[in-house]
Amino acid sequence: MCIWAIGEARWGWAIGAGAMAIVSHLIAPAAAPPRFGLDHEFPVDSPEFVGTVAGASGSPFIEGNTLQLLNNGDAFYPAMLAAIKRARHSITIEAYIYWSGDVGVRFAEALAERAKGGCSVKILLDAIGSASVGSEILHTLEAGGCQVAWYNPIRWYTLGRFNNRTHRKSLIVDGQVGFTGGAGIADHWRGNARGPDEWRDMQIRLEGPGVVPLQAGFAHNWQQTTGELITGDLFYPIIGTCGSLAVQTLLSSPETGASTVRTMYYLSIVCARKSIYIANPYFVPDPVAIETLIEAKQRGVDVRIMVSGVRNDNWLARHNSVRLFGRLLHAGIEIQEFNRTMLHHKTMVVDRRWVTVGTANFDNRSFAHNEESNVCCFDERLAEDLHDIFLDDLSGCERVTIERWRRRGVWVRTQELVAAFLQEQA
């Protein structure tokens, strides 16, 4: 249209169409879902699955770790602050959200204290997600000797990458203890999900050699941002066996052209034989994901999906999610909306054996635009814990029925129609 308008000397149309073409190019997904090969006959607990998910993602299983689930802010913030206090050599943080407030100040003071004590403290904040961190926190960090850098700030010469955000939430202490999951550093994650002011979320504490990929992900983005290569045993110590758990730590980035987290999710779904329990706030499945979930249900798998309901903080993701419920509900898939507060954790349990916890939402933004990280493992005890947590959370949910979905009003459907135009950004 732009070229035609130029030929016809219709300069207003030419400028408008040209601007729309540029924006469409900039927001286009950098990674696409697989179209073929999602028809495997081996189950999720088979050696074939292990080899496939490791090979397809390029992420091996690493032995010798311990992993602890930390449910809600009352559990994970004290554990994270305690780990910071015990740091002796280095602390690295990669965060999409670090906001002003009491929690942010507490972390800043703890980090500054360790930096003054001789620790190397490096903090990489997303330039969009953490824009409201505030001058008080930045002054505390910088005055204490912490290094703070901003991932992908918006500049005219970075417009081609403005959609690429680091959505990772990692805290790594001395190169051998790591925390990751859904939570950033902000006041609304405090508490125990008792009401709207206390978000529902989950972090994990990982100790052992499985932390190294999380550190590698931080190091890559830190070098890309600052030009500094972090080296030496302050950040990469020799780590002995800390436990008996083998973990797979996935780093997903649009730079690779394919999301390793999406690959893991889809392979897990097609290899499920008994159950798939997904808890994710922003559930906007693409056509491939919808088909794989429906096919799993048709072969007898118990498929349950828990999403953030009326407390959802993302209008675009919420309306795109509801718009896509129809085919899943028709297939008999159970969808639960968590309404007590904002549900924000990202977990999946398959066949009560295979577990993933991480930062990636089940949507195109996480799969195609963001830097993400997920930790996966086979562990029956951990799977049972997550399975039970999912069932406990049903007390805060309302089940979506096909009748209720059909009765949504004209205003809701109109918003869904508008949201559909920006589904790739959800």
- Per-residue pLDDT band at 365 (split at 50, 70, 90): confident
Same domain flag for 333 and 201 = no
Same domain flag for 101 and 145 = yes
Same domain flag for 417 and 300 = yes
Please give the pLDDT value at position 33: 66
Which tops the pLDDT comparison, 217 or 417? 217
- Per-residue pLDDT band at 425 (split at 50, 70, 90): low
- The total number of residues shown for the chain amounts to 426
Residue-wise pLDDT for 163-193, tens only, equals 789 999 999 999 999 999 999 999 999 999 9
- Give the whole-angstrom CA distance, residue 318 versus residue 304: 18
**Strands, DSSP E only, in 215-326?**
245-252, 275-279, 302-308
Residue 141 placed within a domain: yes
pLDDT exceeds 80 at position 159: no
Same domain flag for 327 and 212 = no
Please give the pLDDT value at position 142: 96
Domain count, the chain: 2
Which tops the pLDDT comparison, 76 or 160? 76
Please give the pLDDT value at position 13: 84
Same domain flag for 187 and 263 = no
Same domain flag for 239 and 334 = no
Same domain flag for 105 and 133 = yes
Residue 5 placed within a domain: no
- Give the whole-angstrom CA distance, residue 180 versus residue 193: 19
Residue 267 placed within a domain: yes
Please give the pLDDT value at position 31: 62
Please give the pLDDT value at position 37: 65
Whether residue 31 contacts residue 367, with contact meaning beta carbons closer than 8 Å, is answered with: yes
Please give the pLDDT value at position 61: 96
Query: Among 200, 227, 247, which residue terminates a domain?
Result: 247
Which tops the pLDDT comparison, 160 or 59? 59
Please give the pLDDT value at position 423: 66
Same domain flag for 86 and 231 = yes
**Mean pLDDT (the chain, rounded):** 92
Whether residue 370 contacts residue 164, with contact meaning beta carbons closer than 8 Å, is answered with: yes
Same domain flag for 212 and 285 = no
Please give the pLDDT value at position 157: 67
Query: Among 214, 247, 280, which residue terminates a domain?
Result: 247
Whether residue 208 contacts residue 243, with contact meaning beta carbons closer than 8 Å, is answered with: yes
Same domain flag for 209 and 254 = no
Residue type, 200: R
Burial annotation 369-402 (CB, 10 A radius, 16+ → b, else e): bbbbbbbbbbbeebbebbbebbeebeebbeebee
Mean predicted confidence (pLDDT) in 100-108: 98
Query: Among 247, 275, 294, which residue terminates a domain?
Result: 247
Which tops the pLDDT comparison, 271 or 41? 271
pLDDT exceeds 80 at position 25: no
CATH of residue 209? 3.30.870.10
pLDDT exceeds 70 at position 285: yes
Boundaries of domain holding 410: 48-59+249-425
Percentage of residues in the chain with pLDDT exceeding 90?
81
Same domain flag for 68 and 191 = yes
pLDDT exceeds 80 at position 23: no
Residue 215 placed within a domain: yes
Strand partners, 208: none
Q: Which of 310-314, 348-352, 415-419 has the lowest mean pLDDT?
A: 415-419
Percentage of residues in the chain with pLDDT exceeding 70?
93
Mean predicted confidence (pLDDT) in 358-386: 93
Same domain flag for 151 and 278 = no
pLDDT exceeds 80 at position 24: no
pLDDT exceeds 60 at position 30: no
